[in-house]
Amino acid sequence: MAAREQLNTIEMVWELMNGTTGHLGRTDFVPQKTMISPSFGRSCFEEATPESQGISSEYLAKMIRELADSKLTDMHHLMILRHGKKICECDFSPYQSGIWHVTYSMCKSITGMAIGFLEAEGKVSLDEDIHRIFEGHVGLLQKILRPEITVEDLLTMQSGVDFNEMGAISGNDWVSGFLDAPVRGTPGTTFEYNSMNSYMLSAIVTERTGMSMMEYLTPRLWEPLGIKHIFWESCPAGITKGGWGLFLCPEDAAKLGQLYLQDGIWEGKRVLPEGWVERSTAVHSMPDERMGKYGYGYQIWMEERPGSYAFNGMLGQNVLVLPDLEMVLVTNAGSNELFVNCDLLRILRKYFGKDFSAAEHLPEDEWKQRQLAILQRKMAGIQYDRAPILRGGWKNHCPGRRNAAAEYGREKLLDGKMYQMEDVHVGLFPLAMQVFHNNFSNGIQKMGFCYEQGRLYLLLEEGEDHHRIELGRNGAAVSTVEVNQEKYLVAATVEFASNEDGIQVLKIGIAFLEEAMRRTLRIYFHGDRIEVRWNETPGCALIMEGLESIMSEMTGKFLSYIKERGGDEVIHLLMKRTIEPVVYGTLIQSGEEDDT
């Protein structure tokens, strides 16, 4: 990364650690996600029992339980197709089917498809030097001195360009930043994962067609597959981000996997260029084994089972294609892991890896199918209409009924209370979401509560935004929040408790339904003051790993920078002030006057 981008990145990280609020990125912010996910319509896939397609319902139930029990996965959605039919779909509460979900790097595989279209139309060659494609951005000296970097080098993560993801928050001209950056080693020889390679592929589509990649794909991919509910962020120059920023429904992700399984054919018509599926899923480069040990194709990861591959995004976003089994598995999650060497895919490999074999059909088993359906309802948080009355009577098996009056009293006591926060460096968005969407918090100045028609709401004043989030007692309640004019769906829960010292504690969980991130607040009441302990998941471990991987080349400069400003305390500062902050507030409105 060039010195200017390095300095911008270092300064931004330092400002984050010091609790600076407002727009910290060096990239201009323009609101893009001005809508929430529309609800998804009827499934395009025919539904079938697992047994009719040769898979045991009991086997799927066992896998779902293991995914749910893993402390590393935090599952959101699972969908399984076999022979083009949907044999299993499971939502994990509070996440809901029919809502689009962030894909992170899973969308890189779609960017690869766009290059396949472009090549088939004769608008680019994979062995073409990108400096020729972007001649307007390259000076004479660069043309002479810089090594050739081909389109295929970008596809296979072998460009060697030292302009990584942090460059995307250090300025507005990402194309020039990439072309001006130093090159390590010889392009085309060494795998170095870099999302800006994918961004440059998207920029090539725009350079050669005059359209954004999102526009370019509409008649070629989205419309043929009936993909309507989709949103993809763009850079300040209007170029689709390519390597991240896509929101896609799980069912539409499954369509893309099924399209690949069918060699680019959809409903009897060719969609992807002939031969592209085979070429893009061949091994073209070898990643470090810590990332993935089966090889990398054209923006696609190879998988353990021979011939299998995955469109993979961090934190558990996957489309896993198993051609010999005619199966597609789609996952969305909020795990704490970045690449394909992760617990989620380890579990999928355990059940559908190289040693698994399946029949074409199995005898129907209504009991096991019913047990699978019950498990799916449980995972989704769907309650039966009436709890069973067992021995000992209703009161012994419905503790919620006994506690309802107490909870009502506590909620009424909170009604109308408003607190002025003494430290305003915490935002509603988790830190990772702020960075990914270039949407930085202005800090929460006030926090309060209101109780209306039997419902408790959390009130937050954050800059010019006023959030009103319903808190569910017996399951998550869904609300829409707007942060700097961008809209997001959240599902929130509340739990009343006391700590070991008898201090009242309010635990609030906030899941961002379209994202992989969650927020947790623990509010301790000390008379007229509150102590609020914030946390986010995926949390500290992920952020530290991400910082280490993308800032490794600037470690010397970064360390010298922070030593001048606090030295060894930086890790403590990062964890406590930025990722796990504790803030305090003072009561400024009691709400009691409203009761008189």
3-state secondary structure string across 31-52 = CCCCCCCCCCCCCCCCECCCHH
Share of the chain above pLDDT 70, in %: 82
Question: Residue 100 pLDDT more than 60?
Answer: yes
Answer for the pair 480, 487: CB distance below 8 angstroms, yes or no.
yes
Distance CA(193)–CA(197), nearest Å, equals 8
Question: Residue 552 pLDDT more than 70?
Answer: no
Distance CA(162)–CA(181), nearest Å, equals 6
Predicted confidence at residue 393, as pLDDT, reads 41
Same domain as 145, residue 74:
yes
User: In 38-176, where do the E strands start and end?
Assistant: 75-82, 85-91, 101-102
Instruction: List the Cα angle 24/28/30 in 5-degree steps.
Output: 110
Same domain as 346, residue 406:
no
Predicted confidence at residue 225, as pLDDT, reads 97
Q: Hey, what are 394's tokens?
A: 């209703």
Average pLDDT over residues 146-150: 92
- β-pair type (269-270, 486-498): unpaired
| DSSP reduced 3-state for 59 | helix
| 224 cis-preceded (ω within 30 degrees of 0) | no
Distance CA(500)–CA(120), nearest Å, equals 67
How distant is the alpha carbon of residue 68 from its chain centre?
A: 18
Same domain as 182, residue 73:
yes
Predicted confidence at residue 339, as pLDDT, reads 82
Cβ within 8 Å of residue 139, ≥6 positions away = none
| 538 cis-preceded (ω within 30 degrees of 0) | yes
Same domain as 441, residue 308:
no
In a domain, 469, yes or no: yes
DSSP3 helix / strand / coil % (the chain, rounded to 5): 35, 25, 40
Give the CATH number of the domain where residue 503 resides. Answer: 2.40.128.20
**Exposure of 322 in the CB half-sphere (CA atoms within 13 A):** 22
Predicted confidence at residue 386, as pLDDT, reads 41
Q: Considering only 33-37, 95-99, 147-151, 540-544, which range has the smallest mean pLDDT? A: 540-544
Select from 322, 352, 382 the last residue of a domain.
352
In a domain, 22, yes or no: no
Look at the chain and count its residues: 596
**pLDDT tens digits along 10-20:** 666 656 655 55
In a domain, 365, yes or no: no
**Counted domains in the chain:** 2
Average pLDDT over residues 562-578: 56
Distance CA(66)–CA(63), nearest Å, equals 5
Question: Residue 299 pLDDT more than 50?
Answer: yes
Select from 337, 352, 367 the last residue of a domain.
352
Answer for the pair 230, 246: CB distance below 8 angstroms, yes or no.
yes
Same domain as 308, residue 183:
yes
Query: pLDDT-based confidence at 396, cuts 50/70/90?
Result: very low
Residue 490 dihedral angles phi and psi, to the nearest 5°: -130, 150
Same domain as 348, residue 407:
no
In a domain, 12, yes or no: no
**pLDDT tens digits along 483-538:** 999 999 999 999 998 877 778 899 999 999 999 999 999 999 999 999 999 998 88
Select from 352, 383, 414 the last residue of a domain.
352
**pLDDT tens digits along 34-64:** 888 776 666 889 999 999 999 999 999 999 9
Give the CATH number of the domain where residue 204 resides. Answer: 3.40.710.10
Same domain as 422, residue 308:
no
**pLDDT: is 291 or 563 the higher one?**
291
Predicted confidence at residue 576, as pLDDT, reads 59
In a domain, 387, yes or no: no
The mean pLDDT value of the chain amounts to: 86
Predicted confidence at residue 21, as pLDDT, reads 55
Q: Considering only 1-5, 295-299, 305-309, 468-472, which range has the smallest mean pLDDT? A: 1-5
| DSSP reduced 3-state for 462 | strand
Q: Considering only 203-212, 249-258, 269-278, 355-364, which range has the smallest mean pLDDT? A: 355-364
Q: Hey, what are 452's tokens?
A: 């209306």
| DSSP reduced 3-state for 492 | strand
Answer for the pair 77, 253: CB distance below 8 angstroms, yes or no.
no
Question: Residue 425 pLDDT more than 90?
Answer: no
Instruction: List the Cα angle 385/386/388 in 5-degree steps.
Output: 145
Q: Hey, what are 202's tokens?
A: 């998207």
Cα→Cα distances 337→415, 543, 545, Å = 40, 10, 9
Query: pLDDT-based confidence at 395, cuts 50/70/90?
Result: very low
Query: pLDDT-based confidence at 385, cuts 50/70/90?
Result: very low
In a domain, 587, yes or no: yes
Average pLDDT over residues 356-382: 94
Q: By C-alpha distance, which of 45, 42, 40, 56 is closest to 81?
A: 45
Predicted confidence at residue 581, as pLDDT, reads 87
Distance CA(442)–CA(461), nearest Å, equals 10
Same domain as 447, residue 306:
no
Domain that residue 276 falls in:
43-352
Predicted confidence at residue 44, as pLDDT, reads 87
**pLDDT tens digits along 242-290:** 999 999 999 999 999 999 999 999 999 999 999 999 999 999 999 998 8
